[in-house]
Each structure stands twice: as C-alpha cells, then as structure tokens.
Amino acid sequence: MQPPSDLLAAPETEAADTATAVENPTVGIDQSVGDFTYDVKYAFDAGSGLNEGVIRYISDVKKEASWILDFRLKAYQTFLDKPMPTHWATKDLENIDFNKIRYYLSQGQKPKRTWDEVPDDIKRTFERLGIPEQERKFLAGVEAQFDSEAAYSNVKDIVAKQGVIFCNSTEALREHPEIFRKWFGKVIPTGDNKFSALNSAVFSGGSFIYVPPGVKVAMPLQAYFRINAENFGQFERTLIIADEGAEVTYMEGCTAPKFSTSTLHSAVVELVALKGAKIQYITVQNWAPNVFNLVTKRAIAMEDAEVKWIDCNIGSRLTMKYPGVILKGKRARGEVISIALANDGQHQDTGAKMIHAADDTTSVIVAKSISVGQGRSTYRGVVHIPKHLKGCKNNTECDALLINTNSRTDTYPAIVVRGDTHAVQHEASVSKVSEDMIFYMQQRGLTEAQAMSLAVNGFVNDLVRQFPMEYSVELKRLIDLEMEGSVG
Amino acid sequence: MSAPALSSSPVEGFTSTRFAQHLSHRAYLPAWWLEAKKAAWNQFNALPLPSRTDENWRFSDLKGLDLSGFTVPEDHSRQIPNVSSFPEAAEIVFSNRQVVARSHVSADLAAKGVIFAPLDEALRQHGDLVRTYFQKHPANLGSEKFVALNTALTVAGGFLYVPADVEVALPFVIQHTLTGHNVSVFPHTIVVLGPRAKATLVEFFVSGGSSSDAGRSLANAAPTERQFVSGVNDLHAAEGAQLTYVGAQRWSRETLAIQVNSIAAERDARVLSLNLHLGGRQARHESHSRLLGPGADGDSEFDQRPLQTHVSPRTTSNLPYKNALLDTAKTIFSGLIIVEPDAQKTDAYQKNRNLMLSDTAEAHSLPGLEIQANDVKCSHGSTSARIDGEQEFYLKARGINPTEARRLLVSAFFEEVLNKLENEDLHAALTGLIAAQFKK
C-alpha cells in the first residue's frame, strides 16, 4: 500500500494553516500512513534474544538505580517461570519466538526538548505521522517513542507551570523517584501474567505523568509509539498518577511498518486515580498486521474517583488487551469503551475487567466489534463483586457485527456476584448488517460498498462520538478504508 | 490446587478387582456392551481429574471431586417412597442400583412398539437398538472421566423408545433413590423418539438417607449422607419429534452429583429439557445439545454447563436459565452457543438470571458465544439482582406476610420456565417442589 503522499508532503506549511490541519487531523491511525520505514543507525543495540546480560545492558545504558535492576532481574525469572496462557488463549501465542526478538534499540538516551534537536531521519518519520503540527495547534504535551526510547518530548509551559510532570520512564524513576516509586508496579504486579513480567524485565520508554492535587489539565496529553526495526519488541511502561481532585486526559497512537517477520509490542500501563480524581485514557491502536500486541492495562480508582478507558483496536495480528479498573474507594466509577475491527488474518481479543473492592462502586463496559473477511474478534471480560460489599452496580453490553459469511466472533464474559444488594446485568448480541438497511440506502443511490460502510459507521457511532473530534473523524475514515472490497 | 490424593490411579472403592467382579456378574449381557465397559474403565483410569487450569472447570470446587471412600452399593433399602404424584404412562423406581418397583406400558402402547424398560432388560431384549444410540454423540465438556466411570459401572438406567408417529400424552417416570453413607450410583438413561413421535420423560433423583429414614419424600428436609452420583443421558429426537425431558434432583446435602446430558435434535425436532436442582453439595450439570437437522428447536433450562452447537441452517435454540439463591448457595452458569460455519439463519438465545435471596449467596456467570456464520441472530443476557423492592412492598401493602411475598415472587420468577410444560399435573408437582423450599 502506498502512503497518500499529498497528506504528508508539507507538514511545516500545513501547520500554519489551521483550516487545512483540521482536515488532516491526527495521522498515525491510518495503516497506509504508518507503512514506511527508514534505515536508522542505532547507537545502542542489545542484540537478539533475551538473557540476564541483555537486562543488565539495558539497565546499564540507562544508568539506573540498583533497585530497578533488581526489579528487572526478578521479573525476568518470573517471566521464565510463567507458562504461556494457551489453556484459554489462542495457540497463536506459540508463534512468538522470544529468541529472535531485539529487546533494546536506541539512538540516544536523552529525549530532545525542541523539535530542531531531533535527528533528521527520526524527524521525518514523526513528521509523516503528524506530530509537530499536533503539538503546535492544541496539544498540551507530546511524547514520541521511536523503538525503545522517547525521541522527542515536550510539555507546554503552561502545563509544566501547574506542576504537571510528563516524561519517560527512565527520567521519571531517576528524577522523581519519591513520586513514582510508590506506585510503580503496584497496580499491575510483575507476576500478573507472562507478558507483564517480560515488560517488567526489559521495559524502556513510555510516559510517566503526575498531576498535582486539584490540577485540571485542560488539553489532552499525547503519546505516539512507533516501531521502526524488524523483529523488534517494544516494551513501553506507562504510569499516570492523578492526585486528589486532579483531572487528565491522555491519548496514545501506535503504528509500525509491515515487515515479513512478526514484531512484539508488550506494554504495561498503570493508572492511579486518587480521591476524587478523573483519568481518561484513549488508545487508537493501528499496528501493522504482523505485530503481536499483548498489553496489560489496569487502573486503580480511590474514593469518588473516575477512570475511563477508551480503547480502539484496528491493527495488529493478535491483540490481547483487557483494560481494567480496580474500584478501591467508595463510590468509585470505572468505564471501558472498546471498539475492535478484525480483518483477514487478524484476531482482536479484547475486553475489560472490573474488580469491585468498595461499597457503592459502579462500572460500565460497552464493547463493539466488527469482523470482516476471515477476521476474528473476541470479547473477554471479568466482573467481580465480592461478598462483603453493598450496593455495587455493573452494566455490560457487547455487540458484534459480522460482515462476511466466514467472519467469526466470540464472547466470553465471566461474572461473579456475591450477596443480595448488587445489581449486575450483561447483554450481548451478534448480528449482521440487515439487508433491508442496505437495500434502502441503495434505493437512494448509494453503492453497496458505501451503504455497508455507512451501516458499519452507524453501528459504532454512539461510541465514536465519545472520542475527541480529530480521532473520531480519522476512525470513520479508517473504517471506510477497512470496509473497501468487503462486499460483493 | 487439587489435593495430592486426586491422582489418576484407581481410587478406593473403584478398584480393578471391584470392576472385574462387576463384569463377571454381568456375563449374560451382549459382548459389545461388556467391551464398551472395559474400554471405558481403561479410559477412566487413564484420564486425569480436572485441574485448576482446566477452563471447563473454572470457578468449580475441585476439592469436592475427591472420590476416595466411595463404594458401589450391592443392596437396597426396603421401603422406597414414590415421589411422583401425577398420572403416568409407566414408571421404573430404582433404589441404589436395583429395580424395586415398576409399572409397564399399556397393552395399547406396547402394541404400537413403545419400549420402556430398565437398561439391563433393554440390553438383553433390544441390544441392537440400544447399541445404535448409546453414547452416539458424547458430550465433551470436561467430565469425560466421570462419563467413562458411568459407562464402566452403570447398572441402573432406563431405555425409552417411541416409534415413528406414536404420541404418548402421559409422562414416563424414572426414579433413582440413593441410600447409605459413601455409596455411589451411575444412572444412564437413553431416550429415542422416532420421526414425529411425541413423549415426556420425567426423572427424579433423590437421596433416601439411611434406611431408617425411609419415607422421606422429595419435598422433605434433605438427609446429610455423603454420596456420589455420575449420571449420563442420551436423548435423541428424530425428524419432527417432540421430546420433553424433566430432571428434578434433591440429593442429600453432602452429595457430589455430576450429570452429563447429550441431546441430539434432527430436522424440525423440538426438545424441551427442563432441569430442577434443589439438593446436593456440589451438583454439576453438563448438557450438550446438537441441533443437527435444519429447523430443529431446542428449548432448555439447565443448571450448569450447557453447550448449544448449531450445525445446520435455520435452527433455533433458547436457554432461559434461572436461579434463586438461598443461604450459602453457589451457582456457576457456563453456557456456550457455538454456531458452526454452515449454520446460517441460526436463532440462538441464552439467558441467565440469578435472584439473590441471601447475602451469602454467590453467582458465577460465564455466558459464551462462538459464532462462525454471519447470517445469525444470537444474543445472551445475564443479570444478578435481589427481589424487586417495589414488588415486595406492593404485596406487603396488601397484607401478605414477607415470607409469603418472597415465595410468590420466586414462583413467578420460575414460572417463565415452568409454564413451558404442557402437562398440568407435572407443572403442579414441580411448582410444589419449589414451594417446599420456602417452608423451612
């Protein structure tokens, strides 16, 4: 697929012209846009395969404190001890060859603060993904990760003045350990699963954010993740702490070029919403169709706090991702909005986990999936309400749309309720686009493909509307693209 | 983790010597049957007990699967209560493993070719017929080891055959009573309905307690003897047949009961399977319904692990599954609808509603879907909540006492399932069983 070159040719001039820029909003979720690669000379390369030496190398390059190295080595042992979860998950996991993967690639250690300092080849990559215009227009901060390390990071002065810290994992643990060490690895323990252990052993990059008490970050903070090298494993680590009464929205986009061999992305994302805080975390994932995307995402919500995950999975070969919220404080609220689109050769195994751990907590899960061609989408969810609690509520809705006769969808919810003061409901449906609807639109002059595309957009419309504007526009365009050639 | 005692080696009571003895007493049965038993015995020994990582046993209490100490009973108690209280077509009553009471089908039905006999008799007189349908479509939902043990040791069981175009209005009844401490029993029922035939089979499973307690009925307080039951049913409905199957169990409070039902519905057949679970310490019910022919219809209420496989186009299935949870009850609903690639135009519904009547009750719900065809309508729903406060208040405001109000609301909750029964006497009998739960 050729990238639409006119879209990307002149980011500098475009940036000045707001009207044009709105028409070409956030790139980085269109598969064709991300499908390019550069030869990059890496200053630091840990080579292929994983052993203790690789972990010591990464830690050494980053000049980490000794507790972090100990944490990594312990995690490596946990990774080796844990079996692949294939007794419930897809056997496709067995195709990951951990010895072929490159665990650390970087051009330099210190992220650049101004765009001009960034090396030209990396700058070209990110300009094609549209990052600088984004920032200049309205974004509060951008962190761009190229393979293992952040290549560019900046927080607008105004946000920094409010005391917001937004940096990568290495910097955060080195410069603000008093803030981040307390929660690092606490929401998702190393041994949570095999891939969280792997991430804990070799993590690099990612975003660490701290929002001080009462600070409301008006504009979204944003990150881009980009895999450039073949056989590469990206293991970013994100930790967002919203202190009491703070509010923050975070958006991430992911792309990778198509390689002939598979690539691994295994992130760990931890969110901490202290008393009365609000965190909204938006992901638009558009990895190339050879990326294994095995991500652990979990939030902890204290008293009166709110956490909302908006998760959109379009790309990758296999995605396994179940964003969760531990509702730890009274009246905490958790929400997961999930959209998955699985095309030929793709398996989107997504869902949500809601662990109620205090009285009067509420949670909502809305998941919609679309299976096209031989694509397979799976919803897997957990809702857990233990017996000592009172007045917990959960509402779950999963809808699946099947486009072709050989498309596949699965739903595997697990709901545990103890005691008689809770209200829990789960509903799921599977359907296809109705022939009446298509016929009606064709009557009015639309082609079958246009009608199908419109129907699919209608199916996810109520969720897409909750996305920030530039993401929802792009998502609609992306769905149109994926629906091309799916009928007839 | 499972206790070390749960190894794959033969457990006490189910030893090879015991099995050899079992076979030698039954040399008069057909050779294929004895061979099937030997193969099953070997399979039972070869298969491991379910482990913690076995997805089919998620949330289940594996410690409860300890089979040590159980024995195969050889004798039966003297007095067996007859629990059915409605007009029947015919009845067979087992105590432990032996037939203790039996009524035959009318001469009229016998002349039409209806067969209703204990398994032992059916094997001798209609061996080939039994062979055709015995485990024709085994269910594979995790209890393979217990199914193998059932085949190896089954004695008590019934065989119902209704030929093409014969309709029997009154229900057939099989009752199993289990008496004594540490005893086990392995009921196996086979039902075959020919094309366009219509029949109802009701099975009652009840613990009789110690022999001095004889006289207990299904509705009375449950005895507390430790008992083990592994039951298997093969239900077949040929083209256009209509089968109603009701299983009602009130095992002792210390019974481990595993029931595995396999239901096959051919073209345009209708199978209504209704299961009422009132007793037992740990009762697992696996049910695999196969909608084989186009237009088949399965309509069921199950306790635990129902699997609906839609193999052919234009089939429909509906599983309303309702639980009222009292005291420290725990339920696990793990339902799965599978729509295979060729099964276009499938309509499949699954509903799990848990009524939480106590603060210590626990409900697990895993309603699953695996859909591989696109022209389908499939949905499932699961709810867990307490009795609606407004409904309770409405009744109380009209002078109905709280216990009675709860009983009424629970009956109404189950009515959606029970009113699918055409036979009014049977409906009344089952409603009575549920009502008895509230008398305590």
Q: Which of A120, A371, A147 is nearest to A255 (CA)?
A: A147
Q: Establish if A444 touches chain B: CB-CB under 8 angstroms.
A: no
Would you place residue A153 in the very low, low, confident or very high pLDDT band (cuts 50, 70, 90)?
A: low
B321 contacts: CB under 8 Å, gap ≥ 6: B301, B302, B303, B306, B333, B335, B350, B351, B352, B353
Residue A151 pLDDT class (50, 70, 90 cuts): low
A402 touches chain B (CB under 8 A): yes
Phi, psi of A361 (to 5 degrees): -90, 150
Mean predicted confidence (pLDDT) in A417-422: 87
**Strand intervals (E) in A176-317:** 208-211, 221-226, 233-234, 237-242, 247-255, 263-265, 268-273, 278-286, 291-301, 306-313
Phi, psi of B122 (to 5 degrees): -60, -35
User: In angstroms, how far is CA A150 from the centroid of its own chain?
Assistant: 16
Q: Which of A82-91, A398-407, B111-120, B301-310: highest mean pLDDT?
A: B111-120
**What are the tens digits of pLDDT across the range B391-428?**
999 999 999 998 888 888 888 888 888 888 888 888 88
State whether the Cα torsion B145-B146-B151-B153 is positive or negative: positive
- With beta carbons under 8 A apart, name residues in chain A contacting B372: 406-408
Which residues of chain A lie closer than 8 angstroms to B380, CB-CB?
411, 426-428
Min Cα–Cα distance to chain B from A440, Å:
19
Per-residue b/e over B61-98, b at no fewer than 16 CB within 10 Å? ebeebbbeebebbeebbeebeebbebebbbbbbbbbbe
Final residue belonging to a domain, choices A291, A321, A351: A321
Check B360 against A419: CB less than 8 A apart.
Answer: yes
Cα A308 to Cα A335: distance, rounded to the nearest angstrom: 5
Q: Which residues of A touch B370 (CB under 8 A)?
A: 408-410
Backbone angles phi and psi of B299, in degrees to 5 = -140, 105
Do A122 and A107 touch, CB atoms closer than 8 A? yes
Q: How far apart are CA B100 and CA B118, in angstroms?
A: 11
Structural domain includes residue A306: yes
pLDDT of A155 above 80: no
In chain A, what percentage of residues exceed pLDDT 70?
78
> For strand A333-342 and strand A318-321, is the pairing parallel, antiparallel, or unpaired?
unpaired
- The CA distance from B429 to B173, in Å, is 13
Residue A119 is predicted with a pLDDT of: 64
Chain B nearest-CA distance from A457, in A, is 18
Cβ proximity of B218 and B252 under 8 Å: no
Residues A239 and A208 sit within 8 Å (Cβ to Cβ):
yes
pLDDT reported for residue A134: 53
Q: Which residue of B has its CA nearest to A409?
A: B371
Q: How far apart, in whole angstroms, are the C-alpha atoms of residue B99 and residue B255?
A: 21
Q: Which of B289, B325, B328 is nearest to B310 (CA)?
A: B289
Q: Name the domain boundary from A321, A338, A353.
A: A321
Cβ-based contacts of A421 with chain B (< 8 Å): 359, 386
- CB contact at 8 A, A394 and A425: yes
Partner-chain contact A387 B378, CB within 8 Å: no
pLDDT one-digit tens code per residue, A28-43: 344 455 666 666 667 7
Q: Is the pLDDT of residue A466 over 70?
A: yes
Is A395's Cβ below 8 Å from some Cβ in B?
no
Q: Where is pLDDT greater, at A167 or A183?
A: A183
* Look-up of token digits 């944003």: A222
Beta carbons of B425 and B376 less than 8 angstroms apart: no
CA-to-CA separations, A200 to A64, A173, A188, B34, B144, in angstroms, rounded: 14, 14, 10, 58, 40
Query: A174 vs chain B: nearest CA distance in angstroms?
Result: 40
**DSSP character string of B189-245:** EEEEE-TT-EEEEEEEEEEEESGGGTT--TTS-----EEEEEEEEEEEE-TT-EEEE
Tokens of A171: 């910097």
Cβ of B364 within 8 Å of Cβ of A415? The answer is yes
Contact state of A422 with B385 under an 8 Å Cβ cutoff: yes
A371 assigned to some structural domain: no
Instruction: Using a CB–CB cutoff of 8 Å, tell me whether A406 touches chain B.
Output: yes
Nearest-CA distance B325 → chain A (Å): 9
Judge contact between B107 and B190, C-beta under 8 A. Answer: no
Cβ of B375 and A432 within 8 Å?
yes
Beta-carbon contacts of A421 under 8 Å, excluding residues fewer than 6 positions away, are A389, A390, A391, A392, B359, B386
For position A81, what pLDDT does the model report? Answer: 93
Q: So what's the pLDDT on residue B7?
A: 35
pLDDT of residue A246: 96
Query: Whose CA is closest to B168, among B112, B126, B130?
Result: B112
Residue A188 has pLDDT above 90, yes or no: yes
Q: Which chain A residue is nearest to residue B356, measuring alpha carbons?
A: A420
pLDDT band per the 50, 70, 90 thresholds, residue A224: confident
CB pairs A-B closer than 8 Å: 131
Residue A136's pLDDT is: 45
Q: Best of B55, B305, B382 to disrupt the A interface by mutation (most A CBs within 10 Å)?
A: B382
What integer is the mean pLDDT of A441-465? 88
Strands (E), A107-201: 141-146, 149-155, 165-167
Report d(CA A426, CA A352) in Å as an integer.
13
For residues A317 and A444, membership in a common domain is answered with no
Q: What is the mean pLDDT of chain A?
A: 82
Pairing type for strands B226-237 and B183-185 reads: parallel
Query: Taking residues A271-282, what's their average pLDDT?
Result: 96
User: Look-up: residue for tokens 């699963």?
Assistant: A193
Which residues of chain B have a CB within 8 Å of the CB of A430? 369, 371, 376-379
**pLDDT tens track for A326-335:** 999 999 999 9
Cα separations (Å) of B434 from A77, B409, B438? Answer: 54, 12, 8
**Residues of B within an 8 Å Cβ radius of A:** 53-55, 58-59, 341, 344, 354, 356-386
Q: How far is residue A223's CA from residue A145's CA, in Å, rounded to a whole number?
A: 8
Residues 6+ apart with CB under 8 A from A95: A262
User: Which range (A433-447, A468-482, B130-144, B340-354) has the least confidence?
Assistant: A468-482
The residue of A403, A417, A434, A487 whose CB has the most chain B CBs within 10 angstroms, and thus the best one to mutate to test that interface, is: A417
**Considering only CB atoms, which chain A residues are within 8 Å of B377?**
429-431
| Contact with chain B for residue A420, Cβ under 8 A | yes
Q: Containing domain of residue A480, as a range?
A: 439-488
- Name the domain count of chain A: 2
**What is the pTM assigned to this prediction?**
0.79
Q: Which amino acid is at A409?
A: T
- C-beta atoms surrounding B2 within 10 Å: 17
**Smallest CA–CA distance from B335 into chain A, residue:** A412
Judging contacts by C-beta atoms under 8 Å, the chain A residues touching residue B361 are: 418-420
**Amino acid occupying residue A251:** M
Does residue A288 belong to any structural domain of this protein?
A: yes
- Are B360 and A423 inside 8 Å of each other by CB? no
Q: 10 Å Cβ neighbour count for A426? A: 24
- Which of B325, B349, B371 to probe the A interface (max A CBs under 10 A)? B371
Neighbours of A4 (CB within 10 A): 13
**What residues of chain B score a pLDDT lower than 50?**
1-11, 210-219, 221, 298-303
Nearest to B371 among A88, A422, A430 (CB): A430
Q: Does the distance separating the beta carbons of A409 and B369 come in below 8 Å? A: yes
C-alpha closest to that of A349 among A283, A410, A413: A410
Q: What are phi and psi of B348, to 5 degrees?
A: -135, 130
Q: Which of A401, A430, A432 has the highest number of chain B CBs within 10 A, making it the mutation to test binding with B?
A: A430
Most B CBs within 10 Å: which of A402, A418, A433, A434, as the mutation test of the B interface? A418
Q: Is the ipTM of this complex over 0.90?
A: no
pLDDT 10s digits, B78-88: 555 566 678 88
- Residue spans of the domains in chain B: they are 73-387, 388-440
A394 to chain B, any CB pair closer than 8 A? The answer is no
Tell me whether residues B361 and A418 touch, CB distance under 8 A: yes
Please report which confidence band the pLDDT of residue A24 belongs to, taking 50, 70 and 90 as the band edges.
very low
Supply the pLDDT for residue B318.
76
Decide if A321 contacts A345 (C-beta within 8 A).
no
Q: Cβ of A88 and B356 within 8 Å?
A: no
Domain membership of residue A348 (yes or no) is no
* Residues present in chain A in total: 488
Answer yes or no: is A408 within a domain.
no
Spell out which residues of chain B touch residue A370, defining contact as CB-CB under 8 Å.
none
Which residues of chain B neighbour A386 with C-beta distances below 8 Å? none
A450 domain-assigned: yes
Contacts of B376 in chain A (CB under 8 A): 402, 430-432
C-alpha–C-alpha distance, residues B236 and B164, integer Å: 13
Alpha carbons B289 and B235: distance in angstroms, whole number: 9
